[in-house]
Amino acid sequence: MVALFVVLGDFGKGEVLPKADGKVSAVKLPLDARLAKAKYETATFGLG
Amino acid sequence: MLRTRAGYAGGQKENPTYYDLGNHTEVISIDYDPAVLSYSDLLKIFWEAHRCDQLNRSRQYMNAVFYHNDVQKKLAEESRAAAAKAQGVQAEGVETSILPVGQFTYAEAYHQKYYLTRYPGIRGVLTRAYPGAKALADSAVATRLNAYLGSGMNRDWAHFVRELPEYGLPADLEKALSEAAHDLIAPTPRIDEKTRD
């Protein structure tokens, strides 16, 4: 039982999530392919 | 706006996750066309969405501008001063931070395009096209569908119908969405018109 809780507690930890790299990775769908070529800027906000 | 994504930024932890954020903040990252929308336009929306003297509960949930360059920093600082004045807040009472974005980490897939969780058929089509948190988050199609199908926003349904063929959805799904949108575009008949016959 203790081992089960230890496993559950560790669920999700250790995952390495992707980082922003300036590249748009979604290009399969037509609109995505078109907009991936557009010049863009990025804004980031924390919304509380 | 082109694309939006949820993630973590502003902190030092190398590989944050939702359950292990370190000192990162939960953020939204917006790609926009500067020929159509300016950074100042986005700042205006940001400042109007909250009071700049609102206390932040934690670093995780914080009102903040995370700037990507010196131009954004300057515009953010100027707009914060203007917002404080407009809201009647003294400088020492301002709580909203302006910080460098640092490394942005994409939030987990279940955090991306949240409103689409109510439409598993549509979300299933998109996740088959774009498996993984980054690809789905980077999809303008997913961003638009999430916005149109979400709540509390003005929607240009006529624009949606015009653009829908470019989403690349299965024919039956595109037809269903188009018909639903047309129902929203068409004016509702008045009561006296309905009973006339």
Query: What is the complex's ipTM, to 2 decimals?
Result: 0.89
Beta B63-67 vs B105-106: how paired, if at all?
unpaired
Residue B196 is predicted with a pLDDT of 47
B102 with B113, same domain: the answer is no
Residue B190 inside a domain? The answer is: no
pLDDT digits (tens, 9 = 90+) for B164-179: 999 999 999 999 899 8
B29 with B97, same domain: the answer is yes
- The yes-or-no verdict on residue B79 having pLDDT over 70 is yes
pTM across the whole model: 0.86
B11 with B25, same domain: the answer is yes
Residue B192 inside a domain? The answer is: no
B124 with B96, same domain: the answer is no
Domain of residue B177 covers 109-185
For chain B, what is the domain count?
2
Residues in chain A within 8 Å Cβ distance of B58: none
Residue B183 is predicted with a pLDDT of 80
Residue B102 is predicted with a pLDDT of 96
B31 with B54, same domain: the answer is yes
C-alpha span between B4 and A29 (Å, rounded): 16
| Percent of chain B scoring above 90 in pLDDT | 75
Three-state DSSP class for residue B10: coil
pLDDT digits (tens, 9 = 90+) for B28-77: 999 999 999 999 999 999 999 999 999 998 999 999 999 999 999 999 99
Q: Please state, rounded to an integer, the average pLDDT across all residues of chain B.
A: 90
B99 with B120, same domain: the answer is no
Q: Does A26 sit within 8 Å of B138, measured CB to CB?
A: yes
Chain A closest CA to B106's CA: distance in Å? 6
B7 with B102, same domain: the answer is yes
With an 8 Å Cβ cutoff, is A42 touching chain B? Answer: yes
Residue A26 is predicted with a pLDDT of 94
- Please tell me which of the candidates B9, B32, B130 has its beta carbon nearest to residue A28: B130
Q: Count CB neighbours of B169 within 10 A.
A: 21
B16 within 8 A of B52, measured Cβ to Cβ? no
